[in-house]
Amino acid sequence: MKTRGALAVGVAVIGLGLALAGLGVNPYVYFAGYVVLQYVVIATAWNVLGGYAGYVNFGTPAFFALGAYTSIFLIEALRAPLPVLILSGGLVAALLGLGIGYLTLRLKGVFFSIATFALSVVLQTLIINWEYVGGAKGYTLIRPPVPFFRSWGVLLFTLMVALAVVTVLVARTIERSWIGRGLAALRDDEDAAECMGVPTLRLKLFATTLSGFFLGVAGAPFPYYVTYVEPSSAFDLNYAVNALAMPMIGGTTTWLGPVIGAVLLGTAQQVATVTISSELNLLIVGVVLVLFVVLAPEGLTGLVRKLRRR
Amino acid sequence: MISWDLVANAVVAGILLGGFYAAVSLGVSLTFGLLDVVNIAHPAFVILGAYAAYMMNSTLGLDPILTGVLFTPLFYAIGAGVYRIYYASFERRGEESLRGLVFFFGVLFIIEVALSLTYGVDYRLVEAVYIGKSIELGGIGIAFRLLVPCVVGLLMTLALYLFLSRTFYGRAVMGVSQDQVALRLMGADPVRIKTIAFGIGIAAASLSGALLITIAPVVPSTDRDYIGRVFAIAVLGGLGSIGGTLVASIILGVAESLMATLFGPSWSLAVSFGILLLALAVRPAGLFGR
């Protein structure tokens, strides 16, 4: 698929989203669709760092929540409109990403992962003690009348379609450029890549910043979606596990992997939440994650590739 | 105005807490420090041990710590089994670090969700004669529910230290991360040694879980608080050093206790993770590093 073709597909997907928004089916479809698309953004963003560069980030909730709480702060302080929230949420999370990028100078492999987890908890503690954005009690958002669309559900769904398409297109572009090849080189052997003249630090900083940006973007509309945000829901461990499990299931080396993983696992969770229970669907995520990492470490795209080769 | 009485009480409580933290962290020092297996699911096994103590206490009225000791063989077996899966899936293929980490993260999540499915998300606690009693020494109150876990934690630390330094298997564990070929020449199978060590690590986790539920009520998601604590202690103590683990545990216990007394309990969790981030960024080899 050429870049122009990919762009056309992206525009078509957004058009499809708009069409679906216009159809006015059962509101739950938009509600659930938003979550699945949000996971497309999260999984793709996580994969830029985790899949392409090989740095496993356990701190997804930190970035997601930073996006959400940046929104809350701006709503509270300036009554800022949604596009501003998304951009600022992304930028603040990108700054955090830049910070953990410098952390990679000292921390490799598992130490990096543990540090990102620690970061998430420290940030959560800070938010819990910050009364302005609701503290431990949480923050209730009163949504203004919805512009252009029939309901907030439809608007947010359409927005997430667009965000997902943009994120995937950016990830795909990176993967196919020299940056993607450089990241793959440092994933396989960082020292060797450095010796061959790959600017590893600059590439890592780029990957952590970009990954952080899109994780923040995914979190920025969250207050509008749930209207009540508390630290434990914004910093939910589920985001960390899903961000990991979805690319692992789909396959981490290509842009398609996280998309497939997010759509499959995200949809399965939404169905399981309605039909069985929300606790059980989390159990399914955990079991699927462990099964895939043990039995099919290359993910579904890896399995398909293996079958084709035969 | 800070009351010195309050500070002295906080320090004593922190030291007692430190003895318990040592018990929780021993397993990680062993598996992460000596075997290079990053068992991030360790705190989940701690909580599993706590629920075992709760189950036996609420149905049979058994003492939680006695239950903890009785359950160690079972958890040893579970640990040995988990290591075998880990070895066959990751270590033998030489891709242990990151995928192995993801594997243990999944195990942690499964245990946590399975526990909340079985027991719900209510706080569970145990009853024993010493819980609620305390003695007073020179104006400083010592609660038995902290003192007993601390003593057991110190005994566990001593036992592990003696095992590692005095027995053949213990020395083999110390050697397995350094030189596997030399270990083979000494007539010991590295995989078997690692299986034993990992089993001991999980058994220690379950026993420390019984101590945990003696100190405070437990919910399935308590394990998340302990991820930062155990890895902060293991890294700060210098990976694999048992003495270092004890010292780091007491430092963390006192720091958290002071933080909770002076600034409020909601800040105390940030202490461990803050220390962890600082230790990782400034001195990854820890205080007593190899």
Confidence of residue B288 (pLDDT cuts 50, 70, 90): low
pLDDT at A133: 87
- pLDDT, chain B, mean: 86
Confidence of residue B289 (pLDDT cuts 50, 70, 90): low
The residue among B248, B285, B279, B180 whose CA lies nearest residue B14 is B248
Q: Which residues of A are less than 8 Å from B270 in CB distance? A: 121-122, 125-126
pLDDT at B95: 63
Candidates B266, B273, B284; nearest CB to A122: B273
* Distance to chain B for A141, nearest Cα, Å: 24
Residues 248-277 on A with a CB inside 8 Å of B are 248
Q: Which of B277, B278, B282 to mutate to test the interface with A (most CBs of A within 10 A)?
A: B277
Query: How many Cβ atoms sit within 10 Å of the Cβ of residue A269?
Result: 21
Compute the Cα dihedral for B176, B182, B188, B190 and give only its sign. Answer: positive
- Contact state of A279 with B266 under an 8 Å Cβ cutoff: no
Residue appearing with tokens 């038995």: B144
- Contact state of B280 with A106 under an 8 Å Cβ cutoff: yes
**Alpha-carbon distance A143 to B143, whole Å?**
50
B1: pLDDT strictly greater than 60 = no
Domain spans of chain A, in order of start: 3-237
- Contact state of A121 with B38 under an 8 Å Cβ cutoff: no
> B37 with B100: CB under 8 angstroms?
yes
First to last CA, chain A: 24
- Contact state of B109 with A285 under an 8 Å Cβ cutoff: yes
Candidates A58, A121, A283; nearest CB to B269: A121
* Distance to chain B for A112, nearest Cα, Å: 9
Q: Does B119 touch chain A (CB under 8 A)?
A: no
**Alpha-carbon distance B248 to B93, whole Å?**
34
How does pLDDT run along chain A (310 residues), one tens digit per residue? 577 788 888 888 888 877 777 777 788 888 889 999 999 999 999 999 998 988 889 899 999 999 999 999 999 888 888 999 999 999 999 999 999 898 877 777 778 888 888 888 889 888 988 888 888 888 998 888 888 888 888 899 999 999 999 999 999 999 999 999 999 998 888 888 888 888 889 999 999 999 999 999 999 999 999 989 999 888 888 898 889 889 988 888 889 999 999 998 888 888 877 777 777 777 888 888 888 888 887 888 888 888 887 7
Query: What is the interface size between A and B, counted as CB pairs within 8 Å?
Result: 111
Q: Which residues of B are less than 8 Å from A244 in CB distance? A: 102, 105
pLDDT at B284: 63
Q: Which of A293, A295, A298 to mutate to test the interface with B (most CBs of B within 10 A)?
A: A293
Q: Does A227 touch chain B (CB under 8 A)?
A: no
Half-sphere exposure of A10 (CA within 13 A, CB side): 20
**Alpha-carbon distance A215 to A66, whole Å?**
9
Candidates B101, B113, B274; nearest CB to A56: B101
> A83 with A281: CB under 8 angstroms?
no
Q: What is the mean pLDDT of residues B95-124?
A: 84
- The secondary structure of residue A147, as a DSSP letter, is S
> Based on the number of CB atoms within 10 Å of its own CB, is B38 exposed (0-12), middle (13-18) or buried (19 or more)?
buried
The residue among B31, B7, B197, B203 whose CA lies nearest residue B104 is B31
Q: Write the pLDDT tens digit of every residue in B172-193.
A: 888 887 777 777 777 778 889 8
Amino acid (1-letter code) at residue B185: L
**Alpha-carbon distance A84 to A93, whole Å?**
14
Q: Write the pLDDT tens digit of every residue in B243-271.
A: 889 999 999 999 999 888 888 877 777 78
Residues 114-173 on A with a CB inside 8 Å of B are 114-115, 117-119, 121-122, 125-126, 128-129, 136
| Higher pLDDT among residues B250 and B273, named by residue | B250
The residue among B70, B24, B27 whose CA lies nearest residue B47 is B24
Q: Write the pLDDT tens digit of every residue in B58-68.
A: 998 888 889 99
Q: Which residues sit opposite B137 in a β-bridge?
A: B140
B286: pLDDT strictly greater than 70 = no
> A89 with A220: CB under 8 angstroms?
yes
Q: Which residues of A are less than 8 Å from B105 in CB distance? A: 58, 240-241, 244, 289
- Contact state of B99 with A293 under an 8 Å Cβ cutoff: yes
> Based on the number of CB atoms within 10 Å of its own CB, is B225 exposed (0-12), middle (13-18) or buried (19 or more)?
middle
- Contact state of B277 with A122 under an 8 Å Cβ cutoff: yes
Q: Please calculate the CA angle B88-B92-B96 and round it to the nearest 5 degrees.
A: 90
**Alpha-carbon distance A42 to A38, whole Å?**
6
b/e burial code for range A182-203 (CB count within 10 A of at least 16 → b): bbbbbbeebeebeeeebebeeb
Phi, psi of B218 (to 5 degrees): -130, 140
Q: How many residues are there in chain A?
A: 310
The residue among A111, A2, A89, A84 whose CA lies nearest residue A38 is A89
- Contact state of A118 with B107 under an 8 Å Cβ cutoff: no
- Secondary structure percentages of chain A, helix, strand, coil, to 5: 80, 0, 20
Q: Write the pLDDT tens digit of every residue in B152-176.
A: 999 999 999 999 989 988 888 888 8
